[in-house]
Structure 1
Amino acid sequence: MNRLASFWAKNNAFLFLITTVAILSGCNASSGKLPILGQREAVTKTVDGKTVTDSVYQSIPDFKFVSQYGDTVTAKTLDNKIYVADFFFTSCPTICPKMKVQLKRVYERFKGNPDVMMLSHTIDPAHDSVAVLKEFAQNLGVTGRQWLFVTGDRDKIYDIGQNSYMVTAQADSTAPGGVVHSGAFILVDKAKHIRGIYDGTTEAGVDKLMNDIDRLLAEYKL
């Protein structure tokens, strides 16, 4: 199997996940609200003398990375924000250019909206320094702090990608560019819950994402 075939074979799990999310979204369409994705745990507690069981949903944990401006970015930076997360690297020879063209559409669509942000994690921090990320953002025409490009400890980036955002992000010498990752855009709500996962390499997938951002914004106005 050549390197390109190997790369796409390792992303089959991502394609399966996208399909599953689409089915889940369809099942929840009648409620008018986007589903909350990921694992959930039943927690029993006593409220006013009565036993109540609530569902505690998977959420994005705290993190500490560094932005293209050289400052620290944590989960608190995204407090009270709806945001779109993705994983990429600046020298990526395959899907990253498509992803950034599509995420630029999201940036332009919601530019200036104080409730919406974008968070792009490099999965090649050895190369993608603060200076490299800043130049990359400038070349995309990104200004301000609505779209942050972050770097940091490689293992922590890979861990949060796979275990929290539910996407593939790992080193692989057989993959183009030496890293394998999905083309997913992940929609996260103000409570740090994942509300959707989309194919960030296609116009249709990103059209769905932008529509769902509008739906999520509307939820907070109810």
Structure 2
Amino acid sequence: MKGLRILQGLVLLCILLIPVMIIVFLKTFGNNQFDIPVLYQYGVEDAFQECNYPDSIQHVIPDFTFTSNKGLQVGRFEMEGKITIVDFFFTSCPSICPVMSSEMERVDDAFKDNPNVQIYSISIDPDFDTKEVLESYAQKHMASPKWHFLSGDKEETYRLARCGFVLPTFDGYGVPDDFVHSDKFVLVDEFGRIRGYYSGTTREEVDRLIVETKILLHGK
């Protein structure tokens, strides 16, 4: 009888320890396996000569303000405290942009109910992509209110793409086939630090972006 009571006590102790063991496992395993790197912690090297990045300083997205498809002024200030997913595109793009925008629809849908995540799609052809054109494009892609389509001064836009988001971007001077821009979606944390690049034309890469955005949200 005494041995049975001891056995029952040991079983109860094990049951009580299980939640503790799970918590410890999740904390240690989660931190080790799913740490999202902070890019450019010691500055940006081997990028674009005109950018004049400061040495040995954490790179963050610089200040900017553009006009959205809703006519709002949206930019760096609105990124504070939120996770922002950014891409550069233009509405008349004949190649990768339609695929990128379709994939961004999935991202938008994944976080449409989360106030801590937003999307910036920034036009590299602001002469053509007026507020009205961007609004029509947003409706075509069933964009939620947190998916902002932005356009601004052309020179500032290209400098922001190259020097801020560290993405190759070149002016096509009105000829759609001559514009050059990256297919990358950029994940930016609530402090304006770049946390990752993901191909916006590859479903698996966009899936990874969604997962890693959720991990960043869990750590907020």
Shorter-chain TM band: 0.7 to 0.9
Root-mean-square deviation (Å):
1.9
Q: CA, structure 1 residues 207+72, in 2 after alignment: closer, same or farther (shift >3 Å)?
A: same
TM alignment of 1:1-222, pairs within 5 A: 30=32, 32-38=34-40, 40=42, 56-144=57-145, 146-172=146-172, 177-220=177-220
Unaligned runs of 5+ in 1: 1-28, 42-54
Higher strand share: 1
8 Å CA contact 2:90–2:129 kept in 1: the answer is yes
Please state whether the residue corresponding to 1:40 is helix, strand or coil: coil
Give the share of equivalent positions with the same residue, in percent.
38
The answer to which structure, 1 or 2, has the higher relative contact order (CA under 8 A, 6+ apart) is 1
Please state whether the residue corresponding to 1:119 is helix, strand or coil: strand
Please state whether the residue corresponding to 2:128 is helix, strand or coil: coil
Please state whether the residue corresponding to 1:57 is helix, strand or coil: coil
Question: What CA deviation, in whole Å up to 9, does each residue of 1:1-46 have, x standing for no partner?
Answer: xxxxxxxxxxxxxxxxxxxxxxxxxxxx8363211112525xxxxx
| C-alpha distance in 1 between matches for 2:143 and 2:34 | 33
8 Å CA contact 1:33–1:219 kept in 2: the answer is no
Read off the aligned partner of 1:219 and give its amino acid letter. Answer: G
Aligned-pair CA distance for 1:103: 0.5
Aligned to 1:47: none
Aligned to 1:11: none
Question: What CA deviation, in whole Å up to 9, does each residue of 1:138-161 have, x standing for no partner?
Answer: 1111132x1000001011111111
> How many residues get paired?
178
Read off the aligned partner of 1:34 and give its amino acid letter. Answer: I
Unaligned runs of 5+ in 2: 1-30, 44-55
| C-alpha distance in 2 between matches for 1:74 and 1:200 | 21
8 Å CA contact 2:59–2:193 kept in 1: the answer is yes
Please state whether the residue corresponding to 1:97 is helix, strand or coil: helix
TM-score, normalising length from structure 1?
Answer: 0.76
| C-alpha distance in 1 between matches for 2:92 and 2:179 | 10
Please state whether the residue corresponding to 2:102 is helix, strand or coil: helix
Read off the aligned partner of 2:105 and give its amino acid letter. Answer: K
